[in-house]
Amino acid sequence: MKKLIYKTVIFFNKLKKSFFSLGLFFKRVKPGFKNIQQQNELDKKLVFSLAKSRWPSFNQLKYVKKYLNQPERLIISVCFLIIFLSASFLTINFYRNHLEVIPLSGGEYIEGAVGSIKYINPLYSIFSDVDSDITSLVYSSLFKRGENAQLVNDLVKSYEISQDGKTYIIKIKPNIEWHNGGYLTVDDIIFTFEAIKNSRYQSPLRASFVGVEIEKFDDQTIKFDLAEPYAAFLDLLTFGILPQVSWQQIEPASASLAELNLKPIGSGSYKFKSLVKDKSGNIKTYNLTRNANYYDSPPYINTISFKIFGNTSELISALNNNLIGGISYLPEQSKSDVVAQNSLNFYRLSLPKLSAIFFNTKASLFLMDKRVRQALAYAIDKNEIVSEVMGGNARVIDSPVLPESFAYNNNAKKYNYDVASSSRLLKEAGWKITEIKIEDIDKAKEDLTSTDEAVKKAAQAKIDMGVGRWLMKDNNYLSLELNTVDNPEYGQTAGLIAEFWRQVNVKVRINLVPANQIQTDVIKTRNFTALLYGEITGADPDPYAFWHSSQIGPTGLNLADYNNKEVDKLLEEGRLTNDLKARKEKYQKFQEILAEDEPAIFLYSPGYTYVQSKNIKGFNVKSIISPSDRFADVNQWYMKTGKKIAW
């Protein structure tokens, strides 16, 4: 026990000495700490007095890593990476949300077409798609078509319609400039309308305005007075307006020969620049330039040019060789001939168009018998034409009124493919099958030397028919010449029709006419027995322009020269009422009569394929009433772009 107490005392004595020594240490060190702090403050003041900036320079920063250990350097690197990524994200996000790509003025668009250019004049352009295309760009109209084929104001600022539907008061926009200076006024509108109605101008639009009078209300307003109300009247006011000052000096009878037909003056978004003719005088290139003073938003593309080709093969070849940047219309069966399709846009537009075979009963005695016309209709397999020729991009039709119209009559007589019915009707009409053999042809060749004209005539007829089984009546063979436009679609369709008719023992000769000659050589002169051709029916189902007897003749659109007094009465009454139910009844009765008479065989309604280079931006048209409506949003097309910041 004593030993334990002794050791404890010794331990505490040692501990006491240790604390005493530690206290002496702190007493000695404390003044040293103060001296070090003071020295550091003096060093800082000295350095700052000598330094130009308190921020380190780039050369000084190079030595930072010598004073940082590995973990510290890693932390700083990660921080800088986070800052960089954050800044990049913010920059990209700002670019996406605030930097806009905008269209700029400039560029040249060259479009190819098959046809001819003759009348850049709203009084006559309806006969040619190319003329209509250019006319729609050069001239302004009271109303025009929008991107979805809807009727929209062009020159019109506002309008009113009387309760009885007979009076239309229209106010036009002010300060609309002509391409050559001066301003468009209501006097120009009145002049154009009166020119259309003047028979000396021979405009095909004349019949549409029978019973309509125009009057100047004031300097900005005109009034149309209709003899009877017409529901689709505003649809008629899409014709271009001519400048009175330029045209009033020209004699109406000579208007179709005026130079202004090719070097027009209008107020549209594009104006005439130049044209190029070949050695034969045919226009091969037609150039338009943008109208910077256009009253609506001026177009972006500086120049639009139209290049004219003789046929579709030449047209597609030019596209494949980058000589043109678009095609006005591409037949479905020709699409496979287009190379580099990834660089092109193929726009399929809805179009109220029909293709039909029109009969000229005045040119052929046997076509005057409606049983023959009906038999020829039964003999055609329309579904095979749609499948084989159109590649399915069309629909079978049986009427000049298309199925989507409120006036379409689904109960009217239809001519579905039926060879038995065709043969029966031909037999009822007195036609019998006779066979021509090779020895008959040899004998006919000998008879050509006969002095008897009747024998020679019969021999020549037999030679023309050739070997086969053919229909004959009263010593005459049943043969037809089928005229059509020389293009792949109609050429192949005509070939199929000839084969269909051959199956019922009818001889067919096909006459392919160049697109730039079909109007003058065949249609205007009615120089055909059967014509395979297309028509644009329009937004309204009113078929007056195509089937009323007043439209017979070289300037009319009644291609079959069809004349039926009951039909005339129905068409007149149908367009003179706003009562939808009454119009429907009139037009459905018209379809029933027409189907029974069968002055034309309605085949199919094709889709409209418009081809354009992907270098052209801004095209948004979906539906069209006529091919020229594809230019409805031409002011929004562009080829060049820029950028701007939008906050």
pLDDT digits (tens, 9 = 90+) for 606-617: 988 999 999 999
Least confident of 84-93, 145-154, 353-362, 577-586: 84-93
Residue 26's pLDDT band, with cuts at 50, 70 and 90, is: very low
Whether the pLDDT of residue 25 is over 50: the answer is no
Nearby residues of 614 by Cβ (< 8 Å), 6 or more positions away: 343, 344, 345
pLDDT of residue 127: 82
Residues 65-78: tens digit of each pLDDT:
666 677 877 887 88
Per-position DSSP letters for 390-425, written without gaps between them = STT-EEE-SSSS-TTSTT--TTS------HHHHHHH
> Cα–Cα distances in Å, from 382 out to 415, 416, 531, 591, 606?
9, 8, 16, 19, 12
Report the predicted TM-score, pTM, of the whole model to 2 decimal places: 0.69
Choice between 142 and 48, residue whose per-residue pLDDT is larger:
142
Residue 13's pLDDT band, with cuts at 50, 70 and 90, is: low
- DSSP code at position 521: I
Q: Which stretch of DSSP H or E encloses residue 465?
A: helix 453-465
Residue 647's pLDDT band, with cuts at 50, 70 and 90, is: low
Mean pLDDT of the chain: 89
pLDDT of residue 89: 85
In the predicted model, what is the mean pLDDT of residues 387-396? 90
pLDDT of residue 92: 79
Residue 577's pLDDT band, with cuts at 50, 70 and 90, is: confident
Token duo for residue 268: 């549209």
Whether the pLDDT of residue 540 is over 90: the answer is no
Within 10 angstroms of residue 467's Cβ, the number of other Cβ atoms is 13
Whether the pLDDT of residue 168 is over 60: the answer is yes
pLDDT of residue 276: 96
Whether the pLDDT of residue 16 is over 60: the answer is no
Residues 482-509: tens digit of each pLDDT:
999 998 899 999 999 999 999 999 999 9
In the predicted model, what is the mean pLDDT of residues 264-279? 96
In the predicted model, what is the mean pLDDT of residues 258-264? 96
Q: What amino acid occupies position 465? A: M
Going 228 to 233 to 237 to 239, the CA torsion angle's sign is negative
Is 332 in a helix, a strand, or coil?
helix
Residue 27's pLDDT band, with cuts at 50, 70 and 90, is: low
In the predicted model, what is the mean pLDDT of residues 365-381? 96
> Cα–Cα distances in Å, from 532 out to 315, 492, 526, 559?
22, 11, 13, 11
> Of the candidates 562, 550, 624, 625, which has an alpha carbon nearest to the alpha carbon of residue 204?
550
Whether the pLDDT of residue 130 is over 80: the answer is yes
Residue 12's pLDDT band, with cuts at 50, 70 and 90, is: very low
Least confident of 167-171, 176-180, 301-305, 335-339: 335-339
pLDDT of residue 229: 86
CA–chain centroid gap for 341, Å, is 18
Is there a contact between 567 and 591 (Cβ–Cβ < 8 Å)? no
d(CA 224, CA 621) in angstroms, rounded, equals 31
Whether the pLDDT of residue 99 is over 90: the answer is no
d(CA 207, CA 552) in angstroms, rounded, equals 11
CA–chain centroid gap for 582, Å, is 33
Share of the chain above pLDDT 90, in %: 66
Least confident of 1-5, 65-69, 371-375, 376-380: 1-5
Going 329 to 332 to 333 to 334, the CA torsion angle's sign is positive
Is there a contact between 493 and 386 (Cβ–Cβ < 8 Å)? no
Residue 291 falls in which region: left (phi positive, over 0), alpha (psi -120 to 50) or beta:
beta
In the predicted model, what is the mean pLDDT of residues 229-245? 93
d(CA 129, CA 518) in angstroms, rounded, equals 13
Whether the pLDDT of residue 286 is over 80: the answer is yes
Residue 340's pLDDT band, with cuts at 50, 70 and 90, is: confident
Choice between 642 and 114, residue whose per-residue pLDDT is larger:
114
